[in-house]
Structure 1
Amino acid sequence: MPNRVFVINKHGQALMPCKPRKARVLLRTGKAKVIKKEPFTIQLLYGSTGYKQAVSLGVDSGQRHIGLAVTSQAKVLFQTEVELRQDVKSLLDTRRTYRRSRRNRKTRYRKARFLNRIASKKANWLPPSVASKVNHNINWVKRLLAVLPKPELH
């Protein structure tokens, strides 16, 4: 079963998701416009009744993937699996090697910089690879909550 299309009314408030066929008809007849590609969201260009049900957003956070599902009254309206970045550590290692090679060159004009270790003293500090995954989770949840009517997070 394909995912439903998220719908926003002309005032910017979230409505219940519709079937892809309904969204295609609305777009073809000029009664709606695309406002977001990921997750696919359309905005109505006419007034509507604004019918809404309570929907719940389920999140399964893993090391390599995030599983997201939107359900309403035992119906799955939307489900997706987002792949997380796995290259943050290697990019930081590359940056570190470039930085160390710069420091080993004979550059007399460069001031000594070895007392700049403030980042490691922060209380809520996370490693960049972990922070990237946490931020990715938060951003996807915010994206979905913005287009869901009466959302509940599970």
Structure 2
Amino acid sequence: MRIESPAFRNEDTIPVKYTCDGDDVSPALRWFDPPPNVKGFVLIMEDPDAPMGTFTHWILYNIPPSLSELPENIPKRPEVQGIGMQGVNDFGRIGYGGPCPPKTHPPHRYYFRLYALDSMLNLKPGAGLSEVKRAMNGHVIAEAYVMGRYGRRR
């Protein structure tokens, strides 16, 4: 399985549009070659370079197995019809929160990790990362990521 974004190449700079310095909308993503027995997907976006440890920017779960892409600008609601459920990020909000590293830092890395699961998660909308990871435990059958970088002008 692999994942990519039409907005940026793997390991390249994430355009300002998708950050706190721009429109702060989620980028489009698409994936290929999921396992044939996938029952649902989870997408987690994290910054491992954050000053206080890994920072979670986006949690999207119970993505239907029929999907192979996400459009740009997923609404920041707990449940998005036909797309899935969203959790609470480390900004304390539902949905996508774009890159926003401190201006004093070099560019950070942002990983968009897609997990293929053998079941949907028995969670309500608005779950936190620990709940989602606990529910995923033992159900991940494949995973892939695309990584983008972003740094703010000093």
TM-score range for the pair, normalised by the shorter chain length: under 0.3
- Larger relative helix fraction: 1
Higher relative contact order structure (alpha carbons within 8 Å, sequence separation ≥ 6): 2
Larger radius of gyration: 1
Normalising by the residue count of structure 2, what TM-score does the alignment of the two structures yield?
0.22
Normalising by the residue count of structure 1, what TM-score does the alignment of the two structures yield?
0.22
